[in-house]
């Protein structure tokens, strides 16, 4: 409005908007306005600033006054029940206009060329002031919201002689020259208490970015774990760490607002900096425990923009562009898995545990369209599979006793195909119904890869769905070495990837890709009639048994089967989510930003770092390298003729010493030898996006220090 006011027009070109002279002039106006904040309207400085801006308004043609009616001239921090100060009571002023009031801030247009008077009246128990305007000026609409705020709008009104208060009698009310009464408009409304100016949001967002960058930079070399975190579970409840965790507990939510977003950010920053607050520091690449990928700063850049768009991404036609980007990512990883382009598809989820659960539901629905005989359903995975796999089966309604954990091969740590085959044969003989085989491609403890090819043969023989849990190892399919180690993933029916573990994204984004996209519709589509959503499939379509997928043709609600097959996908028809975040957009962002070649090089680099660590550890006196694959390295204290118990004690002592120094962090694993002896091991997973040879050298340095007497 300020620009339009100066240029005396309703539209401006980019050149005009960029004119430095105008920009300087506008800044001067804004600075003068800012100086009026919290000043009473009667202050001389207010009038000076007011006149400075109003001289531009006075130059406008009459028709432009309405166009710039949203331009504020002065801001007075005045109570809503006293929004015109006593100084103006009965004074000479022509109120050309009044705009909005936000909480305790009133924006006033004022001009002192004509006279006006004020009448006091009461509304909802609050004393308010009534403005009388001269002829042919404005009709003022007061819209009052309790005692929290009042909002005032203007509307051009012709032939008005004056406007009286709401309690005026019919005789007191003025009439226009035609004799029509001017109707008073007073409405109770609420100005949103959630409104925050864009400038404040922008400042807080910049502050948040700065804090995030500072945190990642500072913690990249900070201790991997808070030193005071207690290790034994029994001692934690009364520990300093527990007290620190409960220090910020709030039983009752706050009734009053925070002073600013910056204050809230500072509150988080200060508390994160306290001892015991950070817990596990995953920003440090020397955190080699578990499967921690770290976060790339650039991975967070897209968040504010995309969350502001807030797309309804349940179907291709509700967010055509953004859902297409997600579909691109899904098809990229379908290609990486070796699935056919025209039949495969997938769905995003929080973590791999949810992706594995979704795969279990898909497998169950393929074998059991109804719940009949579901108590006979049986699934199979290795004893080294992540615990979320068997938990997913229980969540999907499978009897816990029907979740078969198949023993692993001692030499490799992978599932014993011989034991699996024997268990399948025995279960079928007992009347059970196998429906799901889960192959782990990269076990958490050892990075072991199950024999997908052999399991695919058994899956076909027993009509089971074969799922690959690729949370740890799936991304290594980008490399030639990974493809050689996992050659038969294309024979599976589904596979999952975990992007916050492998591609530097914040928690949590995972992807389940299936070879036959209609398996997703069969599992998650809905044939229920809904009054609030009209299904796109007609009755004739629902009865069309000529469809190549008659069991899913009636389950499309937000898109048709032909659209679905043509890559015009409704995620609401093929996933459990309706309200869904566009998780695939962050994956699209990171892949497009760096290119797939860079990511291939990164995963090759991780394999190189793990191989370098194995080589150096093998030459280190006092330790023995044990079974480990891909980017997982395990080792233990040298046996030197000691018993298993003594060796395990030495290994755990070594682990405790390393972690107590708090320069690197290792987790634990175990291996079983050919004689069935179970050995504890130290485990390092080279997964972090910032892993380097320095990390390997640091690990070796720490081990040498801890192995010394």
Each residue's pLDDT tens digit, 390-400: 999 999 999 99
Per-residue model confidence (pLDDT) at position 705: 95
Cα-atom radius of gyration of the chain, to the nearest Å? 35
Burial profile 141-171: b = 16 or more Cβ within 10 angstroms, e = fewer = ebbbbeeebbbbbbeeeeebebbbbeeeeee
Structure-derived torsion over alpha carbons of residues 37, 38, 44, 49, reported in degrees to the nearest 10: 10
Higher pLDDT, 124 or 680: 680
Which of 35-44, 448-457, 518-527 has the weakest average pLDDT? 35-44
State yes or no: pLDDT of 324 exceeds 80.
Answer: yes
Q: Please state the rounded mean pLDDT for residues 668-697.
A: 94
Q: Residue with structure tokens 């070399």?
A: 221
Percent with pLDDT over 90 in the chain: 57
How would you classify the pairing of strands 345-349 and 510-514? antiparallel
Higher pLDDT, 217 or 9: 217
State yes or no: pLDDT of 286 exceeds 80.
Answer: yes
d(C-alpha 120, C-alpha 89), whole Å: 9
What count of other Cβ atoms lies within 10 Å of the Cβ of residue 579? 8
Which of 62-76, 217-231, 464-478, 638-652 has the weakest average pLDDT? 62-76
Which residues are 467's β-sheet partners? 438, 494
Per-residue model confidence (pLDDT) at position 228: 66
Per-residue model confidence (pLDDT) at position 178: 35
Q: Please state the rounded mean pLDDT for residues 148-164.
A: 28
State yes or no: pLDDT of 298 exceeds 70.
Answer: yes
Per-residue model confidence (pLDDT) at position 12: 60
Going by pLDDT thresholds of 50, 70 and 90, the confidence category of residue 608 is very high
Give CA separation, 471 vs 442, 451, 544, in Å: 8, 16, 39
Please, how many CA atoms are within 13 Å of residue 67, restricted to the half-sphere of its CB? 17
Higher pLDDT, 272 or 208: 208
State yes or no: pLDDT of 656 exceeds 50.
Answer: yes
Per-residue model confidence (pLDDT) at position 177: 33
Size of the chain in residues:
709
Going by pLDDT thresholds of 50, 70 and 90, the confidence category of residue 241 is confident
Higher pLDDT, 692 or 46: 692
Per-residue model confidence (pLDDT) at position 21: 73
d(C-alpha 98, C-alpha 77), whole Å: 14
Going by pLDDT thresholds of 50, 70 and 90, the confidence category of residue 558 is confident
Higher pLDDT, 551 or 348: 348
State yes or no: pLDDT of 152 exceeds 80.
Answer: no
State yes or no: pLDDT of 373 exceeds 80.
Answer: yes
Q: Residue with structure tokens 């044939």?
A: 527
Which residues does 411 contact at the CB level (< 8 Å), separation at least 6?
627, 674
How would you classify the pairing of strands 126-131 and 377-382? unpaired
State yes or no: pLDDT of 493 exceeds 90.
Answer: yes
Per-residue model confidence (pLDDT) at position 272: 87
Q: DSSP per residue over 436-474, as a string?
A: EEEEEBS-TTT--B--HHHHHHHHHHTT-EEEEE-TTTG
Which of 361-370, 428-437, 464-473, 550-559 has the weakest average pLDDT? 550-559
Per-residue model confidence (pLDDT) at position 31: 60
CA 212, distance to chain mean position in Å, is: 15
State yes or no: pLDDT of 303 exceeds 90.
Answer: yes
Q: Please state the rounded mean pLDDT for residues 51-68.
A: 43
Q: What is the mean pLDDT of the chain?
A: 77
Which residues does 576 contact at the CB level (< 8 Å), separation at least 6?
358, 361, 524
**Domain locations in the chain as residue ranges:** 2-188, 202-288, 306-526+570-592, 596-707
Q: Could you say which architecture CATH assigns to the domain 306-526+570-592?
A: 3-Layer(aba) Sandwich (3.40)
Per-residue model confidence (pLDDT) at position 123: 29
Q: Which class would CATH give 596-707?
A: alpha beta
State yes or no: pLDDT of 96 exceeds 90.
Answer: no
Per-residue model confidence (pLDDT) at position 232: 56
The DSSP call for residue 431 is T
Per-residue model confidence (pLDDT) at position 66: 37
What count of other Cβ atoms lies within 10 Å of the Cβ of residue 186? 13
Asked if the domains 306-526+570-592 and 596-707 are classified in one and the same CATH topology, the answer is: no
Give the model confidence (pLDDT) of 178-207 as tens digits. 333 333 333 333 356 788 888 889 999 999
Per-residue model confidence (pLDDT) at position 165: 37
What phi, psi does 106 have (nearest 5°)? -115, 135
d(C-alpha 332, C-alpha 325), whole Å: 11
Which of 380-384, 534-538, 584-588, 704-708 has the weakest average pLDDT? 534-538
State yes or no: pLDDT of 134 exceeds 70.
Answer: no
Which of 218-232, 525-539, 693-707 has the weakest average pLDDT? 525-539
């Amino acid at each position: 409005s300020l620009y339009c006011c100066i240029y005396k027009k309703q539209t401006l070109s980019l050149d005009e908007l960029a004119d430095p002279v105008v920009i300087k002039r506008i800044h001067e106006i804004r600075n003068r306005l800012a100086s009026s904040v919290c000043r009473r309207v009667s202050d001389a400085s207010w009038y000076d600033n007011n006149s400075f801006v109003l001289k531009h308004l006075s130059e406008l043609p009459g028709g432009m006054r309405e166009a710039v009616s949203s331009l504020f001239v002065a801001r007075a921090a005045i109570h809503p029940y006293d929004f015109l100060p006593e100084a103006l009571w009965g004074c000479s002023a022509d109120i050309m206009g009044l705009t909005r009031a936000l909480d305790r801030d009133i924006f006033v247009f004022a001009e002192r060329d004509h006279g006006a008077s004020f009448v006091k009246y009461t509304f909802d128990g609050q004393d308010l002031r009534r403005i009388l305007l001269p002829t042919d000026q404005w009709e003022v609409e007061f819209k009052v919201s309790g005692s929290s705020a009042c909002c005032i709008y203007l509307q051009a009104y012709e032939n008005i002689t004056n406007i009286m208060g709401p309690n005026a009698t019919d005789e007191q009310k003025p009439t226009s020259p035609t004799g029509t009464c001017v109707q008073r408009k007073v409405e109770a409304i609420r100005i949103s208490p959630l409104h925050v100016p864009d400038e404040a949001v922008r400042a807080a967002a910049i502050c948040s970015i700065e804090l995030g960058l500072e945190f990642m930079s500072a913690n990249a070399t900070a201790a991997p774990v808070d030193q005071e975190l207690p290790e034994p579970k029994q001692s934690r409840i009364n520990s300093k760490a527990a007290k620190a965790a409960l220090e910020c507990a709030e039983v009752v939510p706050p009734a009053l607002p925070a002073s600013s977003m910056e204050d809230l950010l500072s509150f988080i920053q200060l508390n994160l900096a306290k001892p015991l607050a950070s817990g596990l520091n995953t920003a440090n690449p020397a955190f080699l425990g578990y499967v921690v990928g770290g976060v790339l700063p650039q991975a967070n850049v897209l968040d504010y923009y995309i969350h502001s768009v807030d797309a309804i991404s349940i179907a291709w036609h509700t967010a055509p562009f953004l859902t297409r980007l997600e579909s691109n990512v899904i098809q990229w990883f379908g290609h990486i898995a070796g699935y056919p382009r025209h039949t495969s598809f997938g769905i995003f989820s929080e973590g791999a545990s949810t992706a594995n659960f979704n795969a279990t539901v898909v497998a169950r629905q393929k074998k059991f369209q109804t719940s009949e005989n579901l108590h006979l359903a049986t699934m199979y995975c290795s004893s080294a599979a992540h615990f979320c796999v068997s938990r997913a089966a229980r969540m999907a309604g499978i009897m816990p006793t029907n979740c078969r954990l198949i023993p692993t091969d001692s030499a490799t740590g992978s599932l014993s195909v011989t034991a699996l085959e024997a268990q399948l044969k025995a279960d079928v003989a007992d009347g059970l119904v196998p429906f799901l085989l889960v192959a782990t491609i990269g076990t958490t403890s050892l990075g072991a890869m199950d024999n997908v090819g052999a399991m695919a043969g058994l899956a076909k023989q027993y009509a089971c769905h074969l799922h690959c849990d690729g949370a740890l190892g799936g991304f290594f399919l980008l490399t030639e070495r990974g493809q050689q180690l996992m050659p038969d993933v294309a024979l599976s029916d589904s596979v999952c990837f975990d992007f916050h573990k492998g591609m530097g994204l914040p928690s949590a984004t995972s992807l389940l890709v299936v070879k036959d996209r209609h398996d997703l519709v069969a599992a998650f589509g809905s044939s229920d009639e809904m009054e609030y959503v009209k299904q796109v499939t007609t009755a004739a379509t629902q009865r069309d048994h000529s469809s190549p997928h008659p069991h899913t043709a009636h389950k499309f609600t937000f898109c048709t089967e032909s659209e679905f097959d043509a890559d015009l996908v409704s995620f609401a028809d093929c996933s459990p989510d309706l309200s869904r975040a566009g998780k695939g957009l962050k994956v699209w962002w990171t892949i497009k930003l760096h290119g797939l070649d860079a990511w291939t090089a990164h995963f090759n680099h991780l394999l190189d770092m793990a191989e370098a660590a194995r080589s150096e550890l093998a030459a280190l006196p006092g330790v023995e390298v044990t079974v480990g694959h891909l980017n997982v390295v395990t080792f233990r204290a040298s046996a030197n003729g000691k018993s298993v118990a003594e060796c395990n004690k030495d290994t755990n002592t070594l682990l405790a010493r390393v972690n107590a120094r708090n320069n690197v962090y290792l987790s634990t694993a175990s291996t079983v030898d050919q004689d069935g002896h179970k050995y504890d091991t130290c485990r390092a997973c080279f997964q972090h996006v910032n892993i380097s040879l320095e990390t390997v050298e640091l690990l070796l340095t720490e081990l040498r220090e801890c192995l010394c007497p």
